[in-house]
Amino acid sequence: MKDLSQIPRINEPNVNGADMFIQVYLLADGKREPFFRFGGNNSDITRRHGNLLEEFLEEAGVEVKETFIDGNDDKYPAEKGENYILTGAGEAREYKRVDGKNARVKGEWTLSGKSGSYGKGPDQEHLEDFAPYLPDGIELTMEKAA
């Protein structure tokens, strides 16, 4: 695995206001370090959370030893490995509720949904752990139940 200081904590979201995401902890020196990845390619309808996790782990230099086959017969990294844990996945939308309606608000991303491959939605604990690493101009919140 690469030195954690060499791995960006978050990447750029999709400019169209909708994206998939994953929440991952990398495990190093007895600590869990939070990372967040937007999917960044909504034009590819075959792209899944497993693809995003695989790309992130490759970027981080993490060897994938455990895999699984999802319901579509696609092979992806397992949700837990020797040096990582996937704790959240779903959909991110650049909006918030204003007067009972969805309004696009630049930089304010609402996390919701659930990964079909991993059966996980957004993880509140990870969101709280990740807060100190959020760059200026990006806000992440979980969708509130109606």
Residues in CB range of 64: below 8 A, 6 or more apart? 54, 57, 77, 78, 81
User: Which domains are delineated in the chain?
Assistant: 4-134 (3.50.20)
Rounded distance between C-alpha atoms, residue 56 and residue 70, angstroms: 19
Average pLDDT score over the chain: 90
Kindly report, residue by residue over 104-130, the tens digit of the pLDDT.
888 889 999 999 889 999 999 999 999
Task: Kindly state the helix (H) or strand (E) to which residue 75 belongs, with its residue range.
Answer: strand 75-77
How does strand 108-112 pair with strand 139-142? parallel
Q: What is the pTM of this model?
A: 0.91
pLDDT reading at 46 higher than 80: no
- Rounded mean pLDDT, 47-59: 93
Residue linked to tokens 């899944």: 48
Beta strand 84-93 pairing with 95-98: unpaired
What pLDDT does 16 receive?
81
